[in-house]
Chain A
Amino acid sequence: MKQLISLEINGHEYDVPVSPRDVLADVIRKKVGLTGTKKGCGMGDCGACTVLVEDKPVLSCITLAITCNGKKVTTVEGLTLPDGQLNPLQAAFVNHGAIQCGFCTPGMLMSASGLLKRTPKPTLYDIKHEMSGNICRCTGFKRIIGAIELASEAMSKGVK
C-alpha cells in the first residue's frame, strides 16, 4: 500500500508515493532523481549514502522514507551555493586532493557538514571520531581530514 509523503529536499518540496519498505536513499535517487547520494553497501556500513535529515547526518540506505515525512533533507546537491559555486567544504575537498574516485565523497561531505554544523572548530579527534562511519578506500583519509580542517578555518573567517 503506497503512501504519499512530503519531503523538503534542498529547499524544494517533493510529494512522493512510497511503499513502507522504501528506504530514503532509493527514494532520493530513483523517485526524486537526485543521484548524488550513493549506495555503497545498502546496510549502513560504508556511509556513502549519508544525508542530513533536520541537519543531522543519517544513513539514508537504512532509513525508511516514510519516517522522514514532512522533514527537511539535505543531500550533496544541496551543498552547492545558489550560483553554482562550491561551498567552502566542497572547495576544500577539491583543492586539497580529498577526492579520488569520488564515490564516498557525497557521504563524506554530508557527514562533515553535520560535524561542522555541530562543532564549527573540531579537533583532530573530533573529526576522526565523527567521520569514522564513512569508509574511503582511495585516499587513506588524510586529505579528507585536511580538507575538513581547511573548511572549518575558512568558515570561521566568514567564507560562505
Chain B
Amino acid sequence: MGAWDQRENYVREGKPSYLDERRFTQVGRSVPRIDGPAKAKGEAVYTADMVLPGMVYGKIKRCKEYAHANIKKIDCSKALALPGVLAVLTGDEAPNKWGIVPASANETALAVGKVRFYGEGVAAVAAIDEETAEAACDLIEVEYEPLPALLDPFESMARAGEVNIHENAPDNILHKGDQIYGDVDKAFEKCEYILEKEFKTGRPQHGYIEPMSAVASYDTQNGLLHLWASSQVPHYLHRQMSIVLEMPMSKIRVTLPAVGGGFGGKGEAAASEFVACLLSRKIGRPVKVTFERADVFYTSKGRHPCYMKWKIGLDKDGYIQAVDFDNTMDKGAYAGWGVVVMFYTASMVHLPYKVPNARSLVRNVYTNLPTTGAMRGLGGVQPRFAMECMLDELAEMMGISPYELKMKNAIDSGYTAINNMYVPHTEYKKCLQTAVEKSGYLEKHGKLPFGKGIGLAGGYYISGTAYTLYQSYKPHTSVTLKVDTEGGVTVLCAAAEIGQGCNTVMAQMAAEALGVHYEDVHVQTGDTEIGSFDLGSFASRLTYASGYAINEAAREINFKLREMAGGLLGCRADHLEIKDRMIYSMFEPKFKIEWATVVQKYVNSVGALSAVGHFSPPRRKGIDIITGNRIQGANIGHSPTFGFSCQIHEVEVDVETGRVYVKKVTEAGDCGTAVNPMSVDGQVEGSIMFNMGACLYEDMKFDAKGKHLNPNFHDYKCPTFMEMPDMDTNIVDSYDPTAPFGVKETGEGAVQPTFPAITNAIYDAIGVRFYQVPITPEMILKALKEKKEKEAGCGCGCGA
C-alpha cells in the first residue's frame, strides 16, 4: 500500500501505530520544490518580467544632494514637456502616512516637505520607456534647504533640541521602553561572577538578488486596482495601499509573481509599489516600477545597528542570576518595524537560558541614515551576539567549558520565562550535545595552535507572533482546501512564497492531512483575492500557522469523505483511516476503497468539497510572572513555540593579512518535525552564510554628509562561493506535541548563533575578544599589534 514512513512499526508510549500521530507519509520527505523546474528553465515569472498591454514605465527622482533637507520647491515643468512623458507625481499628491506598525506610521510614498535620508524619493515620472522616464527625472528641478545630517544615535539625541528629524519626536527618539523583571540589583549582590561589556553591531542589509519591482494596473471604468509586487506581505501591502490611495481594500487586489528573496526587506511596502499604483491611477494605464540595485541600497530596511551595554551575573555554581541590558538602536530615517524590533531585543534576553532577574532599557533613535527594519532574525541577532560571547567569557572566568555553562543554564520543555513567555517544547540541550559531539569541540577548544580556533554559540527564535501589527482579533492565517474531481486538491492561502519553500511544505502538509500524495496538491498562494487571509511571510510563522489551518480544514473534508466511504463500505465511518490515497478500516483491512473513488461519489451525489481552516495563535499577557504587573511591550516575543539551534565554527586567522577564514561549521537544530529535511538544510546553510557575511564583511558605509559610499555589490561585500566553509548541518529528533505535525521554525533561528560562534572562535584562535561586528582585517591586525605590544611590555617584566 505504498511507501509508509519508516517509523510505521515502532510503538511509542503504548500507542498502536494506527493511532500514532507521527506516522507520516508526506511530511518528513525531502521532495524537490514544486516551483523548481519552472525556475530552472527560466520560466518562472518575476514582477520585472511582466509586460501588460499598454504598460508604461515609472522612475523615481531621488535626492542625491543631502541626507537631511527641507524641500523648498519642485519644478516638474521641463520633465512634463519631454516627449514620451505621461505624468509626474510628487509627494504632496499622496500625503497619507503609512507604516507597518500603525501607531508609528510616518512614511509617505514620496517625501513631503523634507527629505530625511540620502536617496529618498522626491518625485516620480511615468513615460513610454525607462530611458525617457530616466531623462525626465533628470529634468525635474528640486530646490532644497539643507539641514544638519544626524548620522549617529547619540549625536541625534544630544542635538535633538537643535535638529529635529520628525515633528512628533522632539527628542529624536521613535520609542523607548523599560522592562524590569525581578530585582536585578539585589541579584547581582549575591553573584560570584559578574561581567560587564559593551557591544556594537554593524549595518548590513538583506541583499536579495531580485530588486523590488511593482506593476500596477488601475481600471478607470470600474475603479479596481491590481498590484503585482515583489513582496513578503501581500496583506500588509494591501492595507498600506488602501491607506495611501484612499481606496477601500475591496477595490484593490495584490498578487505576488515569483519573488526573488526577501529576508525581511520585502516585509513592508516599498516606494515602487505606491508610485506604480498612484501613476497608474493617474494615467489609466499599467505602470511598472523596477528598482536599480542602488535604489535597493538607499531604501532597503536593513538590520538596526545596536549600541549595547551588558552586565551578566552568575552565582558560584554558574547559574545565571541577573542580566542587565541597555540598548540604543539606530533607527535611521523612518519608523518601519522599529518599535517591534526594539522590544524583540529586550525579549531575547529571556531564552534559551533561565534568567530569573532581567532589566532591559531600550530606545530606538532616529538618524538621517537609511531606515532600519526587519532583517532575518530581527531583534535576536544583536543581543544573541552579546550574550553568547559573554557566556563564553564567563565560562573562562569560572574555568569551565562554555558548553558546560550553557548546558547548565539551558531551559527545558514547559519552561515559563519571567516575562511570561512559555516554551511548550525544546530540544536545545540536544542541539548543544549534537553539535559538540559531531565537531569534537571539547577536544579542540583551547588546544588548537595559534591562529586556529573553535567557537560555540546557541540561539533560538520564535515560530510566529502572538499579535498582529494592528489591533485585530481575526485569525492570522486561513486556508481553504478545495477537493473535486477536476482539480484534485487545491490549497488556497494568501501567504507569500519568497523562496523559502512554503508552497512545497504546504503541499506536503495538506497531502498528509488529507491522506493523499503531495503531487496531488496544487498550492495557490500570494493573491489577496484568491487566497484566504494570511498575514505574510515573516517571523518564521508560516509552517506552523498554515499547518494548523490546513489540519482544521482537512478535518472537515475527511469527516465528509469518511461518512461517504462508510456508507459505501458498510462499516463505521469513525473506524476509517485515510492515508496514501486509500480509505480503509483501521481494524478490518478488507474494508478499503480508493480515495479518488470516494471523492467522485461525494461530488456526484453532493457536489464539490471545500472547507476553511483558521489559525489564531495562543495569547499570553505580557506580564512579570512574579508580580503579575503588566510590562509595556512584553507580549512581543510570545510565540506558539520556538526553534533552537547550536553552531560551532572553526576558523583560521591569517595573522599577516588579518583575514578570517571560516573553515568548518557544525550545526544542530531543533525545528520540530522537519516537513522537508532538504529544505530545512537549505534554510540553515543559507542562514549560516547570510550572517557570516554580516559578521565579517557586510556593512553599509557613509561619508560625513550621509551619502552612501558602497551602494552596490562591488563595494558592499557579500560572501561568495570562495568564502563558503564546510557545513555539517544536523536536524535533531524533535516533535512539539502542541504543534501541527510537531513543527517549529528554521528560517530565522539558524542565523542567531553565527556572530558569537565566529567571534568566540576568533578568540580561541588569537586570544583577542571582539565586541563589535563586522570584524574586519583591520580590526584583527590592530588587535594583534596591541596584543604583541602588551605582551612585550616595557621589558622589565612588570606587564606595563
Which residues of A are at the interface with B, using a C-beta cutoff of 8 A?
A: 29, 34-43, 45-46, 48, 75-77, 79-80, 86, 90-91, 93-97, 99-106, 109, 127-129, 131-145
Contacts and interface: CB of A to CB of B under 8 A. Distances in A.
A156 B207 CA distance: 36
Contacts of A41: 293, 712-713
A140 B210 contact: no
**Size class of the contact patch on chain B:** 35 or more
A26 to B, nearest CB: 9
A86 to B, nearest CB: 6
Interface of B: 30, 32-33, 35-37, 39-46, 48-49, 206-211, 258-261, 263, 292-293, 498-501, 678-679, 681-682, 684-690, 712-714, 718, 720-722, 724, 727
B698 to A, nearest CB: 11
A142 B42 contact: no
B46 A99 contact: no
A97 B678 contact: yes
A100 B499 contact: yes
Contacts of B43: 36, 77
B724 A135 contact: no
A105 B724 contact: no
A76 B39 CA distance: 10
Given A40-B293, A94-B37, A142-B727, A101 B259 contact: yes
Given A102-B40, A138-B499, A138-B682, 19 more contacts: A35-B46, A38-B209, A39-B48, A42-B292, A77-B43, A79-B41, A90-B37, A94-B40, A97-B30, A101-B259, A102-B35, A106-B42, A128-B721, A135-B718, A137-B718, A139-B686, A140-B686, A140-B724, A143-B681
Contact of A137 (B32, B45, B263, B681): B263
B685 A142 contact: yes
B33 A46 contact: no
A129 B689 CA distance: 17
A101 B209 contact: yes
Nearest to B716: A45
B42 A135 contact: no
B264 to A, nearest CB: 12
Nearest to A127: B721
Contact of B714 (A37, A43, A127): A43
Contacts of A43: 293, 712-714
A37 B293 CA distance: 16
Contacts of B714: 43, 45
Contacts of B498: 101
Contact of B41 (A77, A103, A127): A77
11 contacts: A29-B49, A38-B209, A38-B260, A43-B293, A75-B42, A97-B681, A103-B46, A137-B261, A137-B718, A139-B686, A141-B685
Q: Most A CB atoms within 10 A — which of B41, B260, B718?
A: B41
Contacts of A140: 682, 684-690, 724, 727
A37 B209 CA distance: 13
Contacts of B681: 97, 143
Contact of A97 (B46, B209, B682): B682
Contacts of A145: 721, 724
A12 B15 CA distance: 63
Nearest to B690: A137
A99 B36 contact: yes
B41 A38 contact: no
B33 A137 contact: no
B724 A142 contact: yes
A16 to B, nearest CB: 15
B45 A35 contact: yes
Contact of A99 (B33, B49, B689): B33
Nearest to B726: A142
Contact of A80 (B41, B259, B722): B41
A132 B721 contact: yes
A155 B674 CA distance: 32
A132 B260 contact: no
Q: Most B CB atoms within 10 A — which of A48, A75, A86, A102?
A: A102
A65 to B, nearest CB: 14
A123 to B, nearest CB: 13
A42 B46 contact: no
A101 B208 contact: yes
10 nearest interchain CB pairs?
A: A36-B42, A101-B499, A103-B260, A102-B39, A140-B685, A45-B713, A76-B42, A35-B49, A94-B36, A140-B689
Nearest to A131: B721
A109 B32 CA distance: 17
Contact of A86 (B40, B206, B727): B40
